[in-house]
Amino acid sequence: MNTNKGNKNIDQKSRVKPKKVKKNTKRISVKTLIAFFAFEMIFTLCTAPLTLLYGPFENAKATYVGAAMTSMSHQYLATWFLSDEKIAKILGQNSTEGTSETTNTSEIEIPKVKDDTIEYYKIENEKYTGHYLVIKDSTRVKIGYTSKLQVEGETTSQIAENNDAIAAVNGGGFTDQSSNQKWTGNGGLPIGLIMSSGKVIYNDLGKDQEADLLAIDKQGIMLVGKYSAEKLQELGVQEALSFGPSLVINGKMTPMSGDGGWGIAPRTVIGQRKDSAIILLVIDGRGASSLGATLKEAQEVIYKLGAVNAMNLDGGKSTTMYYDGDIVNTPSYSMGERSIPTAIIVK
């Protein structure tokens, strides 16, 4: 009996309830998650250029550097990580090759009966969205410029409306300085040559200095190539604008190495077909639905559209197309339209 009682006591003691073990876990706060993802994003942004520029991605590297160096406000994306010598070497892999050829005006056929039709088309593919106009009567195409030249630029639509134009695209290059050398950021100071209605409106080229430009004579024939202001006046040119490079001359695409050396960006191009119709082309870029085009791709597009002579115009944030009272493309400039000194307008 005693033995049984003892066993009973032991059994009662053995049934003591075990203590609950507290789990050593903590709930991750929302702030911690945000901080983590912010760190990951900053780390990726800081290391991505290094991976791209010092990795084995030669084509992507050349495109990245080309895009950075052709933008006045984003050159630091290349210069922070690469020496001037390295940048020059990379840019040399993709470049345009100079040509002394100019337009043979006899190859353009001027119709006996003028057609004032303007046709609008849209281009869409996996990489970019583009828009182009075909102006059948080339004599309608003129050079427009800001009413405050050398002081303050105006938008493409403003220049068009000031000139009662039905259509317009942005024109030539410029610096964001005014004539008094103050940095204004308003696109008021052009680069090169501007001619309108047969008069030289602006010219910072040296005497007899030739530069890449487009010009339109009294018949509506567009010339592209290297010309001086004096030569244009001898040829009876009415409208002219500096930029470049030439993309097509006398039915042949001008030579380029690689992608042309200007990276992927919004593009603006003007071309003329053999039947004298003028093509105004813009390609949107720097957006989620439209990355942009290389200079080589822009050249191929305008060539396939039938241009026998074509010139690259200022692109990037300036790229804008105005038609019949509206902006038909999507400019990459955060403010909408960028202020510029010149535009190609259609009266």
- Is 9 part of a structural domain of the chain? no
- Is 241 part of a structural domain of the chain? yes
Q: Which of 76-85, 134-143, 205-214, 324-333 has the lowest mean pLDDT?
A: 76-85
Q: In which domain, by residue range, is 38 found?
A: 30-93
- pLDDT score recorded for residue 47: 64
Give the pLDDT band (50/70/90) at residue 2: very low
Q: Which of 49-58, 73-82, 193-202, 203-212 has the lowest mean pLDDT?
A: 49-58
107 contacts 308 by C-beta, under 8 angstroms: yes
Going by the DSSP 8-state scheme, the letter that residue 251 receives in this structure is: T
315 contacts 142 by C-beta, under 8 angstroms: no
Q: Which residues, 6 or more positions from 140, have their beta carbon under 8 angstroms from its beta carbon?
A: 116, 346, 347
Answer yes or no: is pLDDT of 71 > 80.
no
- pLDDT score recorded for residue 186: 82
Verify that 42 and 152 share a domain, yes or no: no
Name the H helices within the chain: 2-14, 30-54, 58-69, 76-79, 84-93, 156-162, 229-234, 295-304
- Is 4 part of a structural domain of the chain? no
- pLDDT score recorded for residue 98: 73
Q: Which of 86-90, 211-215, 273-277, 332-336 has the lowest mean pLDDT?
A: 86-90
Cα(113)–Cα(276) distance, integer angstroms: 12
- Is 16 part of a structural domain of the chain? no
Verify that 61 and 189 share a domain, yes or no: no
- Is 281 part of a structural domain of the chain? yes
Answer yes or no: is pLDDT of 344 > 90.
yes
Higher local confidence (pLDDT), 190 or 41: 190
Cα(302)–Cα(267) distance, integer angstroms: 11
Verify that 192 and 77 share a domain, yes or no: no
330: tokens are 């999507």
Verify that 337 and 317 share a domain, yes or no: yes
Share of residues in the chain with pLDDT > 70 (%) = 74
pTM of the model: 0.78
Q: Is 162 exposed, middle or buried (0-12, 13-18, 19+ CB in 10 A)?
A: middle
Answer yes or no: is pLDDT of 334 > 80.
yes
- The model's pLDDT over 270-287, given as tens digits with 9 standing for 90+, comes to 999 999 999 999 999 999
- The model's pLDDT over 84-123, given as tens digits with 9 standing for 90+, comes to 677 666 665 677 777 889 999 999 999 999 999 999 999 9
Cis peptide upstream of residue 245 (ω within 30 degrees of 0)? yes
